[in-house]
Amino acid sequence: MRLIVMGQQAFGKDCLAKILEAGHDEVVAVYCEPDRDGGSVDPIKEFALENNIPVFQPPSFKEQATLDEMKGHNADLMIMAFVNIFVPEAARDLPVHGSICFHPSLLPLHRGPSAVNWPIIMGSTRSGYSWFYPTDGLDEGNILLQWECPIDPDDTVINLYFKKIYPSAVDSVLEVCDLFRSGNPPATEQDESQATYERRCTKKHTQVDWYKPVAQVYNLIRGANPAPGAWCLFNGSALGLYDCVRVPGDGVAGRIIDISDDGVCVQSVGGRLLLKRVKPEGAAKISASEWAAEAGLAVGDSLSS
């Protein structure tokens, strides 16, 4: 098949590399976002050029000239891997078999741009990814295939995405191609009664409230690790909260219970969190024990919500 690969960053690049390595299909063009002023070259662009694949970076897919250009590739399928820009139907339908898009959740759950963060924050026990036929709605098209994995009790975004979802998703791009090459790819309708939508997870969503149950606080911290990062206040400044573990114990919420080489133990409701890595405002991430020494932290001090 003649393929257009549309994507960005490492995931787009690794999907492209997997397709080229298999050697079953011809990649006739790569589409990625326009270069950012002063930014580094997108990995998928760099890799495509190294492999003599034409790269296109239109700022919009609504212009007729862009559509004519895409049509000229005579593609059989467009694979949309990690795409942030809106691609209208007029562009998606140009290849013979249309387009297929990747999303890192079990659709129709967690439609939206932070689909790895929210399941952890919400305390879900499973996640995965979907390849679906994109429409003009947000992650609403029929499903080609899905893959499921557990969210373990201590998983962070790094564990869930980079160690579980990412490697399987890159491998699955070959299954996607095989399904279309077979001539009868599945198309399962999403159950709209189960659909959830979440907005992009940002700092305004990740402020810790120590008066919440410890499980909720822990889920928020690990679901925002490494980005956008959970945080609380200490002496009026934001303190980023990253690696931590749950420990038992009761006391006054927000109170510092213990300081050791292992970290800083903070009370929440129904349990405690041993903070291991933090980020003081305006500084780099450091161990919690190092921060405690630099900040003059003492047992009995409090962190604010």
* pLDDT band, residue 246 (cuts 50/70/90): very high
- Domains by residue range for the chain, with CATH: 2-194 (3.40.50.170), 203-295 (3.10.25.10)
Average pLDDT of span 274-284: 97
| Contact call for residues 120 and 222 (beta carbons, < 8 A) | yes
> What is the chain's mean pLDDT, rounded?
96
**What is the amino acid identity at position 24?**
H
Residue-wise DSSP of the chain:
-EEEEEE-HHHHHHHHHHHHHH-SSEEEEEE-PPPPTTPPPPHHHHHHHHTT--EE--S-S-SHHHHHHHHTT--SEEEEES--S---HHHHT-STT-EEEEESS-TTTTBSTTTTHHHHHTT-SEEEEEEE---SSTT-SPEEEEEEEE--TT--HIIIIIIIIHHHHHHHHHHHHHHHHTT----BPP-GGG--B-PPP-GGG-B--TTSBHHHHHHHHHHTTTTT-EEEEETTEEEEE-SEEEE-----TTBEEEEETTEEEEEEBTEEEEE-EEEETTS--EEHHHHHHHHT--TT-B-B-
Whether residue 171 has pLDDT greater than 80: yes
Report the relative pairing of strands 277-280 and 286-287 from DSSP bridges. Answer: antiparallel
204-231: average pLDDT: 98
* pLDDT score of 37: 82
Pairing of strands 2-7, 77-81: parallel
Res 304: pLDDT: 87
Note the pLDDT of residue 38.
77
Range 172-181 average pLDDT: 97
Average the pLDDT over 188-207 and give the result: 97
Give residue 124's pLDDT: 98
Asked if residue 134 has a cis previous peptide bond (ω within 30° of 0), the answer is no
Give the mean model confidence (pLDDT) for residues 268-272.
97
Rounded average pLDDT over 164-180:
98
pLDDT in tens, 9-62: 999 999 999 999 999 999 999 999 999 887 889 999 999 999 999 999 999 999
Write down the pLDDT at residue 39: 80
d(CA 140, CA 188): 11
pLDDT for residue 305: 72
Dump pLDDT digits (tens) for 78-137. 999 989 889 999 999 999 999 999 999 999 999 999 999 999 999 999 999 999 999 999
Residue in the block written with tokens 């079953």: 24
Helix orientation angle between 166-181 and 9-22, rounded to the nearest 10 degrees = 50
In Å, what is the CA distance from 28 to each residue of 129, 134, 149, 280?
A: 26, 21, 33, 48
- CA–CA distance, 291 with 305 (Å, rounded to integer): 18
- pLDDT at position 296: 95
Query: How many percent of the chain have pLDDT more than 70?
Result: 100
